[in-house]
Structures are given as C-alpha cells and as structure tokens.
C-alpha cells in the first residue's frame, strides 16, 4: 500500500462519489424559512421532486410503521411535509441521500458498519439534545450523522487501498486511529473536517470538532451520540457506557435512571429509523439492548391500566352499524363509542366534546376514564390547536409520534398541553351531513404507555361508522 498520500489526495478522490449533491440540497433547504406555511411546503416539495429517486425513497420511508403507524397512506411529498414537518423531512432526505450515494452496488462490510454506527449516533444525539434545545434536534441529527463522513466516503471508494486497510484493521484493532493516519497520511476526522469545509456542510458539524473546553451544548450532544454509539458496538456491558451515562446526566440535568432508559430506548429507535430505509443489514448491525434487565428498563417502567377486549369492541362496532338503519339516539351512540374505545380498545381516557352551536366552546358531554385517571376538562375553546384543526379538516389524528412532528404546534398550545400532558393522543371529528358537531379525544396519560397502531385503527373504524350513522 502506498502510504501517506495525504488530505488533498483523498478529498479529491471523494469527489468521485458525487456526495456534494447532499450539500446542494442542504443549501436549498436552508434558504427556506422554518415557518410551515403552504408556500414553504411547496418550495421544499419542488426541491425534493427534482430527484425522482429521492422522492420515491422519501415516500417509502414516510409510509413505514415508524413514521406512519396509522398506515394511512402518504401519497405526496407535500402531505409528507405537512405531517412530518419541514425539519423532519430535511432529516429524512439527508439520510436517504447518504445511504443511496454511498452504498452503490455491493457495499463493503466496513461501510455497513460505519453507516450503522452513524445512524445510531444520530438518533442518540438528537434525543439527548431534546434536553438542551428541542428546536435544534433535527440539526443535531444531521451533524451527528455526518460526523464520520470522511470514514464513510473512504470505505465507499472500494479500491485496493481501502481493502488493504480494512484487512489491516481487522488484524490490528488496537490503535486503529494511528494505523489510519500512518497509512493514509491523514485521519478520518481530518477528512470529515475537510469535507465539511469544501462542501459547506452544517456549521454545527464544524463546531463539533472543537476542543472539549470550547464545545457548546449542542456540539457536545453530537460528540456524546457518537461516543455512545462506538462504545455500544463493543457491547452494552462495555465499562465506558456507565461513564457516558454520567456525562449525559451532567449535560441534560436529568436523573441517572432517566438517562439510562433514554439511551437504551434510543438504541431501539435507531433500529426503527434505519429499518424505514429498507436496509436490513444496517438494522442487524446496531447493537440492540438484549439482556432481560435492559429490556425491563426499556418498558418505561409503565404498566397499562386496561387490557383490550376484542369481543367488546366487535359488539360495539356492530351496535353502531345497526344505528345507521334508524334514527340516531346521540346518548346511545356516545355510549357505544366510549365502550368501544375504553373497554374494547383499552384506551385509558376517552372523551366526547360537543359544540352546541358554531363559535361556541366545546363542552365535555360524555367521558370514560380508568381508575386513578385525571378527569378531562369540562370545556375547550375552539382555537387553532388540535381540536380546532380536526374539526376544520374533519381529520383523525395520532399526535406525539414521529409521523406527526409537522403538526407539533397543534399540541403545543397551552390548552392542548393541559389536556394531553405532552403525551401521545388521538383526536378525531364527529360530524353530521350538515356540520361538524364535536371531537372524540383519547389518551393513555395515566400510565404513560404509548398508544398502539391497533388502537388507532379501532378509533378510525369507530368514527367511520359513527359519522355514517350521524349522517343519516
């Protein structure tokens, strides 16, 4: 192997990979405002749709269980942006482009390894940064994903030098950084810094290479995400892991137990994120927390208060369907809806808010809550939050999941937070043939257990049949 060709040589070689296309798309995205209005959504859609492959990959990812557990089809780029949000779609596009432009045909094992490491690091960094600055999470994800770009590009070349270096690192795992610097004449980190400068990549990425003493909070999140990912590659029992938990706790001011649960959940989430891109080998390479103790911690220390009863759900659905053949008694219909969702689907809190006349507040007319559950509010103002949105557009929403980040403002209002507690919830419209008369709201706020796709599908079916009965 020819040694020490140096930074300039390898940066020039990386131009063969056509990776600057990522920089071009990022710059077009950065020119857009963060305000999610229809003009901005269309401008972002126009940028994405210039690339047919990117468009197809984005829609494929947006329709996976991770982003779209409700399985309601997302058929257009604009719809994906509305639901996922501008920043999340930007994050998805960069992820797709990194995979597609680096992997090519027959990617080497070391490239798979580095991609798995990078995506795991990106999810860790993003979720850790939620404690530092929630508004910058997507920016942190991209910086962490590209933190190892120099190494990713090197393995993507698949030339004689990379094959020989790979063989050498396998037989000489200790002191890998020194081996790379000696053989290439430059470190992988220096190559990433060079690419970030040449291609005008994220300023946060550049800041992440600063000495620890000068590293800002978000830059520290990027570095910690990568350190956790690399340590986990050696197993979750690696002695470095508890020390990283301590560092994250100091940065986030979170309790040690909370940090441990967060990091382990992040590992699970990173597997779901990578799975949305359809590369199974990457999922297999991310180290899953696999001991019984860790699995218990990943349960969020939450136990569901209710168990679903599919027979009860079917009975109530049949009862609602029968109401389509007669004059509807609203009290009977409401009772069936509540029973179907609470006892049948196992959702802890269910409320039906009705609006007697347009422009009047929504009043809680019917509710069913589990033991120890906090009562739902007696009334709601019709504002531009989730309740007003579902009534205006007659939609049924699952909020608080990755596929609804674009609608975050709907449940960030003071009224919505008071109801949801910032947790996942369902909300759908009730309407007659003439007007929208109210909303059905449901959540698992007491136990904190996440809502399930089957519960959302139950809600959709209950509302479909109830609204058909109301339209008679």
**In the prediction, which pLDDT does 176 show?**
83
pTM metric for this prediction = 0.80
Q: Which domains does the chain have, with CATH numbers?
A: 7-297 (1.10.3210.10), 310-471 (3.30.450.40)
Cα–Cα distance list, 335 to 305, 321, 367, 394 (Å): 20, 14, 9, 21
H-only helix segments in 50-159: 52-62, 77-84, 86-103, 109-129, 137-145, 149-156
pLDDT per residue as tens digits for the range 231-253: 999 999 999 999 999 999 999 99
How does the average pLDDT of the chain come out, rounded?
89
Distance between CA atoms of 48 and 25, rounded to whole angstroms? 8
Angle among Cα 460, 442, 370 to the nearest 5 degrees reads 130
Q: Are 198 and 11 in contact (CB under 8 A)?
A: yes
Beta bridge partners of 438: 354, 430
**In the prediction, which pLDDT does 174 show?**
65
Q: pLDDT confidence of 159, banded at 50, 70, 90?
A: confident
Q: pLDDT confidence of 455, banded at 50, 70, 90?
A: very high
Of 40-44, 79-83, 289-293, 429-433, which gets the smallest average pLDDT? 289-293
Please tell me what DSSP assigns to residue 368.
E
Angle among Cα 408, 128, 217 to the nearest 5 degrees reads 105
* % residues pLDDT > 90 (the chain): 58
CA 265 to chain centre: 12
Q: pLDDT confidence of 298, banded at 50, 70, 90?
A: very low
For the chain, the straight-line distance linking the first and the last C-alpha, in angstroms and rounded, comes to 79
Distance between CA atoms of 466 and 320, rounded to whole angstroms? 6
Q: Which residue has the tokens 């094959």?
A: 163
Cα–Cα distance list, 45 to 39, 59, 139, 195, 419 (Å): 10, 12, 19, 27, 33
Q: Is the sign of the CA dihedral 216, 219, 221, 224 positive or negative?
A: negative
Residue 30 above 90 pLDDT?
Answer: no
**In the prediction, which pLDDT does 38 show?**
81
What is residue 69's three-state secondary structure? coil
**In the prediction, which pLDDT does 303 show?**
64
Q: Which of 25, 26, 27, 23 is nearest to 15 (CA)?
A: 23
Distance between CA atoms of 319 and 430, rounded to whole angstroms? 17
Q: Are 366 and 335 in contact (CB under 8 A)?
A: yes
Cα–Cα distance list, 212 to 85, 131, 149, 221, 236 (Å): 33, 19, 20, 12, 25
pLDDT per residue as tens digits for the range 375-386: 899 999 878 788
- Cβ neighbors of 154 (< 8 A, separation 6 or more) are 10, 14, 162, 184, 188, 191
Please tell me what DSSP assigns to residue 358.
T
């Amino acid at each position: 192997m020819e040694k020490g060709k140096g930074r300039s040589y390898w940066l020039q070689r990386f131009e063969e990979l056509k990776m600057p296309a990522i920089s071009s798309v990022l710059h077009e995205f950065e020119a857009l405002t963060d305000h999610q209005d229809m003009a901005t959504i269309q401008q972002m859609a126009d940028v994405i749709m210039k690339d047919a492959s990117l468009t197809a990959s984005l829609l494929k990812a947006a329709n996976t269980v991770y982003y779209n557990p409700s399985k309601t089809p997302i058929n257009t780029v604009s719809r994906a942006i509305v639901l996922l949000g501008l920043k999340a779609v930007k994050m998805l596009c960069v992820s797709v482009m990194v995979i597609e432009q680096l992997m090519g045909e027959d990617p080497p094992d070391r490239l798979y390894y580095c991609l798995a490491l990078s995506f795991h690091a990106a999810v860790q960094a993003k979720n850790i940064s939620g404690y530092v600055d929630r508004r910058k999470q997507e920016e942190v994800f991209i910086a962490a994903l590209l933190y190892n770009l120099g190494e990713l590009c090197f393995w993507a070349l698949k030339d004689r030098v990379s094959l020989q270096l790979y063989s050498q690192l396998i037989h000489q795992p200790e002191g890998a950084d020194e081996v790379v610097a000696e053989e290439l004449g430059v470190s992988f980190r220096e190559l990433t810094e060079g690419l970030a400068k040449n291609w005008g990549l994220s300023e946060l990425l550049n800041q992440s290479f600063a000495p620890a003493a000068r590293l800002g909070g978000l830059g520290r999140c990027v570095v910690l995400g990568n350190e956790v990912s690399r340590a986990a590659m050696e197993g979750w029992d690696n002695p470095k892991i508890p020390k990283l938990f301590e560092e994250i706790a100091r940065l986030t001011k979170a309790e040690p137990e909370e940090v441990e649960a967060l990091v382990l959940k992040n590992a699970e989430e990173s597997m779901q994120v990578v799975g949305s891109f359809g590369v199974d080998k990457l999922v297999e390479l991310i180290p899953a927390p696999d001991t019984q103790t860790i699995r218990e911690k990943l349960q969020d220390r939450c136990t569901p208060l209710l168990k679903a009863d599919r027979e009860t759900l079917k009975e109530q659905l049949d009862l609602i369907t029968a109401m389509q053949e007669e004059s509807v008694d609203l009290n009977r219909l409401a009772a069936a809806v509540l029973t179907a969702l609470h006892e049948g689907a196992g959702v802890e809190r269910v409320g039906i808010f009705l609006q007697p006349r347009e422009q009047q507040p929504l009043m809680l007319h019917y509710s069913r809550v589990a033991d120890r559950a906090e009562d739902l509010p007696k009334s709601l103002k019709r504002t531009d939050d989730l309740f007003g949105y579902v009534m205006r557009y007659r939609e049924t929403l699952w909020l608080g999941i990755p596929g609804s980040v674009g609608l975050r403002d709907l449940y960030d209002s003071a009224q919505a937070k008071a109801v949801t507690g910032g947790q996942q919830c369902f909300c759908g419209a009730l309407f007659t043939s003439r007007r929208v008369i109210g909303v059905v709201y449901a959540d698992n706020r007491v136990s904190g257990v996440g809502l399930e796709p089957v519960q959302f599908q139950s809600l959709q079916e209950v509302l479909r049949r109830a609204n058909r009965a109301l339209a008679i």
